[in-house]
Amino acid sequence: MFITFEGIEGTGKSTQIALLKSRLEAQGRRVVVTCEPGGSRIGAELRRVLLSLENRDLTPQAELFLYLADRAQHVAQVVRPALAAGAVVLCDRFADSTVAYQGYGRGMDTGLLHQLNAVAVDGLWPGLTILLDLDPETGLARAVARNVSEGKTNAEGRFEAESLAFHGRVRQGFLDQAARCPERIRVVDATGTPEEIALRVGALVEGRLNA
Contacting positions for ligand TYD (CB under 6 A): 9, 36-37, 51, 67, 92-93, 97-98, 101-102, 143, 159
Q: Partners of 88 in the beta sheet?
A: 31
CB of residue 210 vs ligand TYD: minimum separation in angstroms?
28
Q: Which is nearer to ligand TYD, 53 or 203 (CB)?
A: 53
Q: Which residue lies nearer to ligand TYD by CB, 125 or 159?
A: 159
In 3D, which of 46, 109, 112, 110 has the Cα closest to residue 77? Answer: 46
88 or 190: CB nearest ligand TYD: 190
> Least distance from C-beta 179 to ligand TYD, angstroms?
20
Q: Which is nearer to ligand TYD, 161 or 211 (CB)?
A: 161
Q: Specify the residue, 29 or 80, whose C-beta has the smaller distance to ligand TYD.
A: 80
Taking alpha carbons only, the member of 46, 22, 24 closest to residue 35 is 46
Closest CA to 133 of 168, 94, 92, 181: 168
CB atoms within 10 A of CB 54: 11
Smaller CB separation from ligand TYD, 27 or 122: 122
Instruction: Please give the distance of CA 182 from its chain centroid, rounded to a whole number.
Output: 17
Q: Can you say how many angstroms the Cα of residue 143 is from the centroid of all Cα atoms in its chain?
A: 15
Q: How far is the CB of 53 from ligand TYD (least distance, A)?
A: 12
Beta strands in 58-208 (DSSP E): 88-92, 128-133, 185-189
Closest CA to 99 of 88, 108, 90: 108
Q: Measuring CA to CA, how many Å separate 146 from each of 15, 131, 142, 149? A: 12, 20, 6, 5
Cβ at position 204, least distance to ligand TYD in Å: 20
- Quote the least distance from Cβ 190 to ligand TYD, whole Å: 12
Taking the complex as a whole, the smallest distance from the CB of residue 25 to ligand TYD amounts, in Å, to 22
